[in-house]
Amino acid sequence: MYSAVAAGFGIAIAAFGTGLSQGMAVKSSVEGVARNPEASGKITVTMMIGLAMIESLCIYALVICLILIYANPASKVIQAFVGMAAGH
All domains of the chain in start order, with CATH: 2-86 (1.20.20.10)
In Å, how far are 5, 24, 28, 29, 83 from 80, measured between CA atoms?
Answer: 19, 47, 52, 53, 5
Sign of CA dihedral 81, 82, 85, 88: negative
Give the rounded percent of residues in the chain with a pLDDT score beyond 90.
61
DSSP state of 73: T
Break the chain down into helix, strand, coil percent, rounded to 5. 90, 0, 10
Query: pLDDT by residue (tens digit) across 17-36?
Result: 999 999 999 999 999 999 99
pLDDT value, residue 70: 83
